[in-house]
Structure 1
Amino acid sequence: MAQFGNYTLLIILGALFALPFIYTLYTSLITMQDVNKLAGVSNWTFDNYKMFFTNDAYNVPKWLMNTVIMTAVVILGNLIINPMVGFALAKLDFKGKKLIYWIVVGTMMVPYHMILIPVYVNVAELGWLNSFTGLTVPFLYQALYIFMMRQFFISIPTEFIEAARLDGLTKVGAFWRIVYPLARSSLITMSILAFSGTWNSYLIPVTLTSDPSMYVLVVGLNSVKDMFFENTPLIMAGVVLATLPILIFFFIFQRQYIEGVSSAGVKG
């Protein structure tokens, strides 16, 4: 009985949290005449989505491709750099290790808005404005994910690494062949967080790009919002386009995400 009550409560809460997206999806499938009305399925249409991909006033396919490229590069960089740094801070002994760790922890407490201007200045001086280099290179690692990976690697017995060394592997080889595969759940968790954060990123891309051909999806859709502010169904279709990939990505890897969060608790 208690289990039934728990499931019922979870279903109710899930439905409440899903209502905003359901409303957004519904509104994106109707016309302006049916806004704030309950339109039947026969009145639903995909014209709002078609307009995004066929109207020359905006280049959604290009913005979508820019977002895919930026997100893929950032995730790939984070999957390589953050685990390497986390492993070094967890398992290797070197001078300044604790200092570096506390610097990493300290940077987690600094809002990114405070360093956005220095980042812009550096990107501009390097000539990276309006380029994929500027949109990706400064974000190939994140302090939060370094901390998360360190916490996971601390839980791995050092005996695994020592056994790998006895078998002839170097420290680098032991990391890539033994330790890295064990971090699969944490890596997927990091990928989901990096995916959602990068895909939905607005402040950084809008600061580093002024050329419409280099807009990412969120920045481009925001310009559409300015042109068609009163066309609610069109705006909602843009919201669905920006949100749906994140939901799909999460639902595919939700089990690994939960396992990763559970295994990355604060230790050591």
Structure 2
Amino acid sequence: MTLVQINKKFTLLGIYAVITIVGCMFILPFAYTLYTSFVPMQYVNKITGISNWTLDNYKLFFTNEAYNVPKWFLNTVIMTGIVIIGNLMINPMAGFALAKLDFAGKKIIYWIVVATMMVPYHMILIPVYVNMAQIGWLNSFAALTVPFLYQCLYIFMMRQFFISVPNEFIEAARLDGLTKMGAFWRIVYPLAKSPLITMSILAFAGTWNSYLIPSTLANSPDKYVLVVGLNSVKDMFFENTPLIMAGVVLSMLPILIFFFFFQKQYMEGISSSGVKG
């Protein structure tokens, strides 16, 4: 074995060691949260056997009359579903228009989209709140969904992908009698499976975990989403650490499951959507 090969092996070992350490740093908080959610209060911050584990913390969430977790879960599912469907419809159409169509003001609109990506949504939350109040949408699903049916980041991402689609595909579809919209929906849109799944995962995670916006636009308990509702539970049971950790697991579990099934497409979408301009 040559000296170069030995150096390469030590380099690889070092890289794997760093990756392992970083991975442990990320997984340990989740492992602690998951473990604590299954143990009674007296075993918090202590190591105990599986025989002492219990599902009582989870049962309490769904049976306590002081809060309505199933309703919050349903509200979150409805809100997240509407936002994802809207983003899957609007963002690809906008990205396709910016990538493949010619119209007046196209470059200006594109740079407005890029500039808007740099503005944190918190800066425009007050104007959004005022607008929702003026049209009577506060404490409704409309306020929680309509302003978020599109995202400039996802429009940019879809535009980057559609640039890579050969114009010949669209021209061939037009020769077959399809309109521009027909060519988009029947030819171009199906090609964007990976970036669409990537966008869905990002939109799912961002919407499901959103706290500030739902708590601002909907302050009625029957319109609480899961994260907002769990925060109210935290205020009531601040010292009950296992119960709080059970709530954290409930809020993150759907995202982990969603990502687990679509992680391959997610990575493909990231690699194909942001490298061409």
Shared topology, TM-score over 0.5? Answer: yes
In the TM superposition, residue 18 of structure 1 has moved relative to its aligned partner by 1.0
Kindly indicate whether residue 48 of structure 2 is the aligned counterpart of residue 36 of structure 1: no
Question: Residues 165-221 of structure 1, C-alpha deviation per residue, up to 9 Å, x if partnerless?
Answer: 111111001000000000000000000000000000000000011110000000000
State the 1:54 CA deviation. Answer: 0.2
1:76-97 deviation line (CA, Å, top 9, x unaligned):
0000000000000000000000
1:57 equivalenced with 2:66 (yes/no) = yes
Secondary structure of 1:253's aligned partner: helix
SS of equivalent to 2:194: helix
For 1:73, the aligned partner's letter is I
2:92 to 83, 96, 100: 83
Question: Which position in structure 1 is the counterpart of 2:174?
Answer: 165
For 2:190 and 2:162, the matched residues in 1 are separated by 11
Q: Which entry has the higher C-alpha Rg, 1 or 2?
A: 2
1:147 aligned onto 2:153: no
Deviations 1:16-43 (A, max 9, x none): 3111111000000011100110011000
1:125 is aligned to 134
Which of 105, 112, 115 is the equivalent residue of 1:96? Answer: 105
**Helix, strand or coil at the partner of 1:62:** helix
Q: Give the counterpart of 1:22 among 31, 35, 49.
A: 31
Residue deviations 1:66-117 (CA, integer Å, cap 9, x gap): 0000000000000000000000000000000000001101111111111000
- 1:74 corresponds in structure 2 to 83
Deviation of 1:12 after TM superposition, in Å, equals 4.2
Alignment of 1:5-16 (within 5 A): 5=13, 9-16=18-25
Q: Give the number of equivalent residue pairs.
A: 268
In the other structure, the counterpart of 1:250 is 259
Query: Is 2-11 or 179-188 further displaced after alignment?
Result: 2-11
- Paired AA for residue 218 in structure 1: V
Quote how far apart the aligned CAs of 1:4 are. Answer: 6.7
SS in 1 for 2:147: helix
TM-score between the two structures when normalised by the length of structure 1? 0.97
Distance 1:167 1:7 in 2: 53
Partner letter of residue 122 of structure 1? N
Q: Distance in 1 between matches of 2:27 and 2:246?
A: 17
Structure 1 residue 264: Cα displacement: 0.8
5+ unaligned residues in a row in structure 2: which ranges?
A: 1-7
CA distance, structure 2, for counterparts of residue 59 and residue 203 of structure 1: 20
Cα distance in structure 2, aligned partners of 1:74 and 1:242: 18
Over the aligned positions, Cα root-mean-square deviation in angstroms equals 1.3
Question: 1:106-150 CA deviation, whole Å, 9 max, x = no partner?
Answer: 111111111000000001111111111110001000000000000
User: Which residue of structure 2 lines up, in the alignment, with residue 213 of structure 1?
Assistant: 222
1:105 to 2:114 alignment: yes
Distance 1:138 1:35 in 2: 42
2:238 pairs, out of 205, 216, 229, with 229
Instruction: Calculate the TM-score normalised by the size of structure 2.
Output: 0.94
Q: Percent identity, aligned pairs only?
A: 78
Moved more, 163-172 or 60-69: 163-172
* Counterpart pick for 1:185 among 194, 216, 220: 194
CA–CA separation in structure 2 for the residues paired with 1:212 and 1:25: 27
For 2:136, the aligned partner's letter is G
CA distance in 2, matches of 1:97, 1:267: 18
Paired AA for residue 120 in structure 1:
Y
Q: What secondary structure does 1:156 align onto?
A: coil
Whole-Å separation in 2 of the counterparts to 1:90 and 1:242: 37
In structure 1, what residue type is equivalent to 2:116?
A: T
